Structure formats: C-alpha cells, structure tokens
Amino acid sequence: DIDYEQIVRKTCREIGFISDDVGLDADHCKVLVNIEQQSPDIAQGVHGHFTKRPEDIGAGDQGHMFGYATDETPELMPLTHVLATKLGAKLTEVRKNGTCPWLRPDGKTQVTIEYRNEGGAMVPERVHTVLISTQHDETVTNDQIAADLKEHVIKPVIPEKYLDENTIFHLNPSGRFVIGGPHGDAGLTGRKIIIDTYGGWGAHGGGAFSGKDPTKVDRSGAYIVRQAAKSIVAAGLARRCLVQVSYAIGVPEPLSVFVDSYGTGRI
C-alpha cells in the first residue's frame, strides 16, 4: 500500500515547510486523502481495463502538445528559462545551507533577455531585467534582501557577460513578503504550466503535467515532442525547432504532427 499522507508530509518537510511561521507545518497540518479509481468509461476506451497490447493503448484524453528546443544553451532550452530556473534552485540552496538565514521557502523568479534574431535562431545579447520575489522573515531589511540576492543568488548564476550598468533588478518589488506558502496562496499544482515547460517560448496546449499517468498525453505527449525537437537541434538539422502533436481520447496514433524550424532548417 502507498502511504499517501507520509509522502505528502515528507515532501513538505523537504521543501522547508516545517512550521506555521513559514506557511505550513508539515508534521501537524491536516492531510486529506481522497483518491478514487479512474472512470471505467475512460479505462475501457484507453486501455480496455488493461487488456490491450501496449501498442494499442489509446491516448488518455484529447489535446495539443508542443515540444521546443533552441541552440542558445547547452540544455537546448531558452536562456531566459534556464537562468530563471537556476536562480530558483540557488534560492533554495542558500536557504538550506544557511547562507541567507532570513530566507523562507516561497519565491519565484523571472529573467528578461534582449535577443538578436539570426535568421530565425535566437541569440542572447544581454540580460535586460532580473526579477526575484522571495519570502523572508520579519528581521531582514529590504536593503539586505537586495544585497544578499545580488551577491549570493544572481552573481553565481548569471554570467557576467550578460550583465551591464543598464540591467534592471526588481528584488522583492512588492516591499514585503513574510506571509507565504499555503498561508499566502491557494496552491500551484497545474497552475504554473509555463515554468514547467519553456518559459513562454514555443507554444503550449494548456495541459499540466502534475498527477497524470503515462496514458495522459498532456504529460507523455509533451515529453516525446520535446525529445523530438531536442534531437533535431542536437543533430544540427536546425538551430531552433517546435514540434506539435494532437490526440483524440482512445486513439493510439496522433491526429496531427507539425514541425517548425523557424527558417533555421539545414535540410
């Protein structure tokens, strides 16, 4: 049996939600478990109640999925997205290792970059704006927040060549962010689909990834078209690529496949 409650508590604890002061107490919060079986109508149409061969299993729902890749980073991801993600990871690191003891678990990042369009390929020129909003305790000043974020988060993550005297820094621009986590927001699951993908680049069909098994093409379809786009760019067939597929529930094969190399194709 799966102990759902302990998985939830362990995850919250690892994130850092260990007391009501930071937004949630992992050991004392109420965990409601209400997990049901999939609708038999869906099950019979998708996998025939586990009687279909793997190649005959149909899509778990309809929808459009997009995969994107670009040669501007080693990860073949947009630099805006790579830097924003790394800033978020660094925020977690300096909170957990005690470098910035005033930090609390909640926070978000955003990076704006000026690009040059080189025949359809995107070439980063400079970082225009860095935005970080992070939860903090009552003791720290806004000046200290800004100084610590620049020194311990931004400086180690963003290459110096992209920063100049005109780069704008919005560091906790609301002025106060003490209340955070579940105390300050209704939740994120399925509501942050852009940070889960390409940070606004490419396209998005609207489906989230969280809580879905592999028959749900919102997840598995999005993964496979990312792999396809990435393979095209990694093989040097294009510098930038978008791959789109669409599905109907219960049908194994995609309804459509579309590839756009933004004019950078080399075949």
pLDDT digits (tens, 9 = 90+) for 182-213: 888 887 788 899 999 999 999 999 999 998 99
What tokens appear for 181 in the block?
Answer: 């986590």
Q: Which pLDDT score is estimated for 2? A: 94
Q: What is the pLDDT of residue 1?
A: 87
Count Cβ atoms within 10 A of the Cβ of residue 244 and give its class: 0-12 exposed, 13-18 middle, 19 or more buried.
buried
Residue with tokens 């073949």: 76
Q: Please, which residues bridge with residue 117 across strands?
A: 122
Share the mean pLDDT of the chain.
96
Burial state string for 84-108 with b = 16 or more CB within 10 A and e = fewer than 16: bbbbbebbeebbeeeebebbbbbbb
Strands (E), 26-162: 63-70, 103-118, 121-136
Cα separation, 225 vs 61, whole angstroms: 17
* pLDDT tens for each residue of the chain, 267 residues long: 899 999 999 999 999 999 999 999 999 999 999 999 999 999 999 999 999 999 999 999 999 999 999 999 999 999 999 999 999 999 999 999 999 999 999 999 999 999 999 999 999 999 999 999 999 999 999 999 999 999 999 999 999 999 999 999 999 999 999 999 988 888 778 889 999 999 999 999 999 999 899 999 999 999 999 999 999 999 999 999 999 999 999 999 999 999 999 999 998
Count of Cβ atoms closer than 10 Å to residue 26 Cβ: 19
Residue 142 phi, psi (nearest 5): -65, -35
Alpha carbon distance 59, 176 (integer Å): 46
Q: Answer for the pair 65, 205: CB distance below 8 angstroms, yes or no.
A: yes
Show the domains of the chain with their CATH numbers.
4-52 (no CATH), 55-71+198-260 (3.30.300.10), 79-183 (3.30.300.10)
Collect all residues with Cβ–Cβ distance below 8 Å to 70 and sequence separation of at least 6: 76, 77, 78, 121, 122, 201, 233, 239, 240, 241
pLDDT of residue 191: 86
The predicted structure's pLDDT at residue 140 = 98
The CA distances from residue 82 to 73, 93, 131, 244, in Å, are 8, 16, 14, 22
Q: Are 191 and 80 in contact (CB under 8 A)?
A: no
As separate numbers, helices (DSSP H) first and strands (DSSP E) second, the chain gives: 6, 8
Q: Are strands 121-136 and 256-260 parallel, antiparallel or unpaired?
A: unpaired
How big is the chain by its Cα radius of gyration, in Å?
22
The 8-class DSSP code of residue 60 comes to S
